[in-house]
Structure 1
Amino acid sequence: MHRAPFGLLLAASALAAQTPPLVLPQASPRAQVAQTVGLTDITVTYARPSVHGRKVWGGLVPYGQVWRAGANENTTVTFSTPVKAGGVALPAGTYGLHMLPTAAAWTVIFSNESHAWGSFSYDPREDAARFTVTPVAAEALDRLEYAFDEVTDGAATLSLRWEKLRVPLRIEVDTNQVVVASLREQLRGLPRFSAEGWAGAAGWCVRHDVNLEEAQAWVDRSLEMKETFGALRTKALLADKRGDAAGAAALRTRAMAVATEAEVNNLGYALLGQGKVDEALDLFRRNVKDHADSWNAYDSLAEGLAAKGDKAGALKNYQQALGMVRAEDQRARIRTELAKLQ
């Protein structure tokens, strides 16, 4: 029988030892789902096992044993900022997710170890958070899935769905504090060199009633650089919050003196949205007086008059706008508004 040379066999053996495994489809494919809550990014990376006709709860996933909450490597959850999971505070970072299922309540575990294979080396001394949740019945699902439900600016429910069960994990974010910290960081970059950067940061804080003392310093910094409509309006709101009605009124008067047509128009629409129709009409009429060559000024006044119930005034101003505008899409829109009034 012919034999390969011994040296060739050694070389082949060494080559085989160095050859990486083939990449083939996995029985439990990898998946990733992400959600932004305010400015906080939450990302879940996991593998998706299939029911495949098996008994899952109390079978494939035994009760009373720590489970990897997925398949293969650790299921991981990454938070870009600090959060609360199940009411327990967690710093920003990546965590291994495990669960301890029972026939009733489940224990959810966030571990500081996120690189393990499954839960085989799970160590409770590495727990970052541990809390209890109650699974609920759900529509049948063959492949395990994570999804985000009930998303708001400050919270979301991360749900594990598999077989006929949903396991909800409530994640909460102090979005106001996250945004304030982000604004401070942003104002150390290019935005610090513009009046709009400082004014925008102050304006956000005032609208959300947070960090008002620092917001005052930010808007003053903006006004030192340039006196703008937005910054003066923001400073007026801060004066209102201090109970300084006279100071707020004076600041609003100064703001109107430097306002552009678009700024007045936008403020008018904001007031219209708040149901303050008469105040909005005052601004729309001001724009018509100051910008008589603008079709948009007449168009906005017409919309305000229509909201007031002044059909004749609305028709007159829509017709004026139609006679001035050249863009065909705007002409078609105004004709539609006229048809509604006629």
Structure 2
Amino acid sequence: MKQVILKSGILLKFMFLVFSTSFYSQIKHPKASPFSEVHQQLGLSKISVQYSRPATKGRTIFGGLVPYGRIWRVGANESTKIIVDADMEVLGNPLPKGIYALYAFPEEDSWQIAFHTNTSHWGDGRKDYDPKEDLFRINVIPKQISYHQENLLIAFDSITHNSVNMELIWASTKVMFPFTVDTHAQMEQEIAKQILENPTAQTYYEAARYLQEQGKSYKQALEYLRTAIEKGGDTYYFHRVKSLVEAALGQYENAINSAQKSLALAQEQEKDEFVRMNQNNIKRWKKLL
């Protein structure tokens, strides 16, 4: 009899365990607002955004699904996160390296965008959201676009070494705001570090090419190029950048000589594009002698 009771108890416990597991289990299913992650390089730095992308589904979005005057998580599901791997600025506001929740407060004619330090809230945080935990807020003006954006889109555009615009686009509305970073200061540190450690001809060339492209420190760039040629020998690209730096310094005769060397080396290697660029520069600089 004890054996029967014992077996019955074990069976009941097993059935309860199965029932409990089935009751609390969830079916894996596709999300109505799928998760997305976007990364954007900004000079030597990077901005990443993690968000979910709700669809309009024929609904009025701003002033409807997203009411005016209320906090919005800039997406769906969890709060939207923005990660910056270096110190930046947003409209003059310092944005230290780190992770932030991104919130918006839409109005018909103006929005506030909040960079929030508390990333633990689900969604917009509801009553737990504390404005005192905002790192800062910025004001942006919404614009109407000429096309329909079905799913919320966060994108980056107008990219330079030092700045990029973040764009929030949904339905017929777009807002954007710039991120800036002092890439030149980072590059100065990187160049100094690489030249101090174990520089090669390519190290000096890349340092010079960066300075030439940015229109900075031409005399230093010329010294780097001379060292690159001394260490690495003649190449069409060493002499091409050297010609551009010399022209920027007003040394047109030297620039023509460097361009002629680059042209000859490019012809030997059948680098037609560089042949044409050097020919055009030589023609232009001869007029300036």
TM-score under structure 2 length normalisation: 0.73
- CA change 1:163–1:176 in 2 (3 A) is same
* Pair 1:131 & 2:138 matched: yes
Partner Cα distance (1:260, 1:73) in 2: 56
Partner of 2:187: 179
What residue ranges of structure 2 are gaps of 5+ in the alignment? 1-7, 284-289
* Pair 1:279 & 2:254 matched: yes
- CA change 1:52–1:204 in 2 (3 A) is same
Give 1:110 shift.
0.5
Match of 2:88 among 83, 88, 95: 83
- CA change 1:74–1:14 in 2 (3 A) is same
- CA change 1:144–1:279 in 2 (3 A) is same
1:77/1:94 contact within 8 Å kept: yes
Count of residues paired in the alignment = 265
2:200/2:228 contact within 8 Å kept: no
Partner Cα distance (2:229, 2:179) in 1: 43
Letter in 2 for 1:148: F
Partner of 1:15: 21
- CA change 1:114–1:260 in 2 (3 A) is same
Query: 2:81 aligns to what SS in structure 1?
Result: strand
* Structure with more contact order per residue of length (Cα contacts < 8 Å, sep ≥ 6): 2
Residues 63-122 of structure 1 show CA distances to partners (whole Å, capped at 9, x for unaligned) of 111110111101111111111113211101111000001111111000112232111232
What residue ranges of structure 1 are gaps of 5+ in the alignment? 220-229, 237-251, 310-342
Partner Cα distance (2:189, 2:230) in 1: 33
Partner Cα distance (1:283, 1:201) in 2: 17
2:166/2:177 contact within 8 Å kept: yes
Give 1:256 shift.
7.9
Partner Cα distance (2:275, 2:82) in 1: 52
Partner Cα distance (1:178, 1:268) in 2: 23
Match of 2:56 among 46, 51, 59: 51
Partner Cα distance (1:183, 1:308) in 2: 30
* Pair 1:94 & 2:102 matched: no
1:109/1:130 contact within 8 Å kept: yes
Question: Could you say which structure has the larger radius of gyration?
Answer: 1
More helix by share: 1
CA RMSD of aligned residues (A): 4.1
- CA change 1:134–1:271 in 2 (3 A) is closer
Query: 1:261 aligns to what SS in structure 2?
Result: coil
Match of 1:169 among 161, 168, 177: 177
Greater shift in the superposed pair: 259-268 or 165-174:
259-268
Partner of 1:148: 156
More strand by share: 2
- CA change 1:93–1:22 in 2 (3 A) is same
Give 1:13 shift.
3.9
Give 1:285 shift.
6.5
TM-score under structure 1 length normalisation: 0.63
Give 1:179 shift.
2.4
Letter in 2 for 1:98: Y
Q: Percent identity between the aligned chains?
A: 25
Partner of 2:286: none
- CA change 1:304–1:9 in 2 (3 A) is closer
